[in-house]
Amino acid sequence: MPPLMPPRRPQWSDGIEKPKRLREVPRFIYLRIKGFFSRLGTIVGLVFHSAPICLFLMLFFCLAEGVLPVIGAYISRDLLNAIASLLGISAASEPLAVLRPILVLLVFQICHSFCSKVVTRVNSVVTALAGEKVSNHIRIMIIGKAKEVDISSFDRPEFYEKLENANREAGMRPVGIIQAVLRVASTLISAISFIAVLFTLSPFAPLIVIAAAIPSAIISYHYRQRNFHYIRRHSKERREMSYYSGLMVNKDQVKEIKLLGLGDTIISKYQTAFGKYFGGLRRLIVREGVSQILVSLISTVAHGALFAYVAYHVIYSSAAIGDYSLYSGALTSIAGYVTTLVTSTAAIYEGTLFIDNMIAFMKEEPHVVCALPEPRTAERGAHHTITFDKVSFAYPGSDRMVLKDMSFTLSSGERTVLVGLNGAGKTTLVKILTRLYDPTEGRVLLDGKDVREYDPEEYHRMFGAIFQDYGKYAETVAENIRYGDVHTPYSDARIGKAIEDGDATFVSDLPLGTQTPLTRLFYEDGLELSGGMWQKLSLARAFYREADFLILDEPTAALDPLAEEEVFRRFYQLSEGKLALFVSHRLSGATLADRILVVGEGRVLENGTHAELMALEGHYHRLFSTQAIRYAEGMDGARGLSEGAEAEKALLS
């Protein structure tokens, strides 16, 4: 019986354990403050690294936005006092001399208004530019990390949750947080200045304004915490919405969706996922709104009392009428600034919590790495052997062994065909061979040394491989082929040879030859190829790579038997002297192989030449004989296959 796990201590949504005893509270507060500033520092670092000039400009505008309102308030006070002072002056007085102070103040007010508008407008431009640069920087970080992590990471739902959350944070959130921080700073500058002004009226006035805002602040922080926690817990529903909406606009699946009439069903599933997600979020939003309306009554009553006091002071203390403007403006501004501080700091806190999603994704570490401080090097072009030594494998998160105790050796100059039924483990074996995964048990040896002692990227470059789900890139024909080896200079001659080797002769009939754009994803004149054409192009990509090991994992599924036979012939010809592995359901080409591995239920069931395995009258004999009978019965369909090949060529005319 497994040992009992200790009960998990309750945690708040930022991962810090909730205090159980009073003496734990100071440390709890310290950890939360430390975590907040740590996350905030990460955000500032992101913005500084991607847009340093924009950040300094934003700091400058922050200072300007903090000072300008106070200057404007004093200009308004002096202007109002100047106008009031003229009320008793005779109209016979010289107008220019009398109006000169007012005209000067009006010029100051106009200049102040213009500067405020310029600062606001330029700041919004700088913020927008910074947002684009930061968003681009974060997306590059995300795709760079996706390049580094193991392919096994993509098998885990929690990885997709991190990826989805990180992608969501790649928008304007970091710049929005910086903008909120700077807004808090400029607001504090203005608020402190106005508090000093209001303090001359009464030391209690600013304290009353601040105290009236405390309930609103508590509610804001409470619901920011709950909002973050809710969104994190409902990542699954957001992924479902993204999945179902993506299905409806996926050009590769739209044919089946329309033919089967799945549109309404998929839309219904999207709406169901949205309903689950939105229901709880709506309750949070409504409850916060109602709570804020109720507490606003407190602040409204407090502000009304203070306005009455300001009016009383101006009337009964013989103060100038401009002082009422100054004090009431200060009172209104402080109330607005306190509200801004509450909402901005709550947004900052919430934003720093969300940025943890991106930080968690960026901490995903690869495990398919070199096990030695100094990686081994393999001589390119030499004779090599790859040995499976008692290899077993289970996919991450599963206990089911897909491969079980496999042992065999592949050698340069030997062409091996891997055969077996669906689910036998053929593709998984190829993934282990190419070190997209490491074995759960056992070892894979390159020339007698564990492949984990080699640099993974250098090891990968030894392979020219094409999988069942080969890439269809929205690029030109030449780029689709060149992607087979982007680490060497582009060569038209190599492109031409790869086209010939892959039997992609249809390229010469395309409108722009190798420069023909493929798919209409980006190009109006892009060409949509048939499945067989794409498959031949992917073969050309594999042959373009001058690799020591050539792996073809069922690359002929979309080809007719005649075209497949040609691929087999070319494969055996072009793999001369290489370690070559061909995976296929069809066994007609296996007769030419140097060796055949028969895989079933994750094990190597048989190993030998065609003649040896036929003589055994075992698994291979049954598979081959069954297919041979079907081919014999279907010989009358050969003409139809030939006509189908001719029809494929006719698509180009």
3-class SS string, 412-429: CCCEEEEECCCCCCHHHH
Helix then strand count (H, E) for the chain reads 19, 10
Question: How would residue 466 be classed by pLDDT, with cut points 50, 70 and 90?
Answer: confident
Does 325 share its domain with 283? yes
Whether 310 and 211 share a structural domain? yes
Residues 6+ apart with CB under 8 A from 206: 195, 198, 199, 334
- Residue 284, classed as helix, strand or coil, is helix
- Share above pLDDT 70 across residues of the chain, in percent, rounded to a whole number: 84
Tell me if 120 is assigned to some domain: yes
Q: Are residues 148 and 245 in the same domain?
A: yes
Q: Do both 340 and 257 map to the same domain?
A: yes
The model's confidence at residue 93, banded by pLDDT at 50, 70 and 90, is low
Q: How far is CA 593 from CA 152, 617, 630, in A?
A: 32, 18, 22
Q: What percent of the chain has pLDDT over 90?
A: 6
Dihedral sign (CA 243, 244, 250, 253): positive
Mean pLDDT of the chain: 78
Q: If pLDDT is split at 50, 70 and 90, which confidence band does 251 have?
A: low
CA distances from 203 to 196, 198, 345, 631 (A): 9, 7, 25, 99
Which among 19, 336, 228 has a CA at the least distance from the CA of 220?
A: 228
Q: Is the pLDDT of residue 159 over 90?
A: no
Residue 387 has pLDDT above 90, yes or no: yes
The Cα–Cα gap between 72 and 171 comes to: 35
Of 482, 514, 546, the residue at which a domain comes to its end is 546
SS3 454: strand
In this predicted structure, the answer to whether residue 310 has a pLDDT above a threshold of 80 is: no
State which of 496, 514, 546 marks the end of a domain: 546
pLDDT tens per residue across span 447-463: 999 999 999 888 888 88
The predicted structure's pLDDT at residue 388: 94
In a domain, 179, yes or no: yes
Q: Cα angle vertex 491, ends 485, 497, to 5°?
A: 85
Residue 371 belongs to some domain of the structure: no
* DSSP 8-state code for residue 5: P
403-580-544 Cα angle (round to 5): 120
Are 454 and 475 in the same domain? no
Angle between helices 561-574 and 638-650 (to 10 degrees): 80
Residues 557 and 613 placed together within one structural domain of the fold: yes
Residue 598 C-beta-side C-alpha neighbours within 13 Å? 20
Q: Which of 225, 277, 222, 268 minimizes the C-alpha distance to 245?
A: 268
Instruction: Please identify which residue in the block is written with the tokens 């990471």.
Output: 153
The Cα 350–Cα 292 span in angstroms is: 18
- Residue 322 has a pLDDT of 67
Pair 577, 539 in one domain: no
Contact 227, 13 (CB under 8 A): no
156 and 106 in one domain?
A: yes
Burial (CB count within 10 angstroms: exposed 0-12, middle 13-18, buried 19+), residue 153: buried
Per-residue b or e along 110-146, where b marks 16 or more CB atoms closer than 10 Å to that residue's CB: eebeeebeebeeebeebbeebbebbbebbeebbeebe
Q: Are strands 603-608 and 595-600 parallel, antiparallel or unpaired?
A: antiparallel
* Alpha carbons 177 and 40: distance in angstroms, whole number: 8
Residue 443 has pLDDT above 90, yes or no: yes
Q: Which amino acid is at 531?
A: G
Residue that is written with structure tokens 């847009």 in the block: 51
CA-closest candidate to residue 265, choices 275, 257, 277, 255? 257
Q: What is the CATH number of the domain that holds 498?
A: 3.40.50.300
Q: Which domain holds residue 586?
A: 382-462+547-653
Q: 539 and 443, same structural domain?
A: no
Among 546, 574, 604, the domain-final residue is 546
Q: What is the pLDDT of residues 209-243, one digit of tens each?
A: 777 777 877 787 777 778 777 877 787 788 788 88
Q: Are residues 510 and 592 in the same domain?
A: no
- DSSP category for residue 293: H
Do the domain assignments include residue 3?
Answer: no
Distance of CA 229 to the CA centre of its chain: 20
Dihedral (CA of 626, 632, 636, 639) sign: positive
DSSP secondary structure letter of residue 391: E
DSSP structural state of residue 651: T
Residue range 339-365, pLDDT digits in tens: 777 777 777 776 776 677 777 778 888
Q: Do residues 137 and 174 make contact, with C-beta atoms less than 8 angstroms apart?
A: no
Give dist(CA 573, CA 503) in Å, integer: 13
Tell me how many domains the chain contains: 3
Same domain, 133 and 273: yes
Based on the domain organization, do 283 and 419 belong to the same domain? no
Is the per-residue pLDDT at 333 higher than 50?
A: yes
Indicate whether 248 belongs to any domain.
yes
Output the domain CATH number for residue 55: 1.20.1560.10
Comparing 1-15, 244-258, 514-528, the range with the smallest average pLDDT is 1-15
The yes-or-no verdict on residue 54 having pLDDT over 60 is yes
Q: Which residues pair with 599 in a beta bridge?
A: 604
Q: Where are the alpha helices (DSSP H) in 377-530?
A: 426-433, 456-460, 477-482, 492-501
Residue 6 in domain: no
Q: At residue 170, does pLDDT exceed 70? A: no
- Residue among 299, 285, 287, 289 at smallest CA distance from 339: 299
pLDDT over 60 (residue 12)? no
- Please tell me the distance from the alpha carbon of residue 558 to that of residue 40, in angstroms, as a whole number: 53
For 595-642, how does the pLDDT look when each residue is reduced to its tens digit (9 = 90+)? 999 998 888 999 998 888 999 888 888 888 887 776 665 544 444 334
- Is residue 502 assigned to a domain? yes
Take residue 267 and report the two structure tokens written for it: 């839309």
Number of neighbours of residue 201 by Cβ within 10 angstroms: 21
pTM for this one? 0.65
Tokens of 133: 């640069």
CA distances (Å), origin 148, targets 83, 134, 142, 157, 487: 70, 21, 10, 18, 17
394-415 pLDDT, tens digit each: 988 788 899 999 999 999 988 8
DSSP 517: B
| Any domain includes 403 | yes
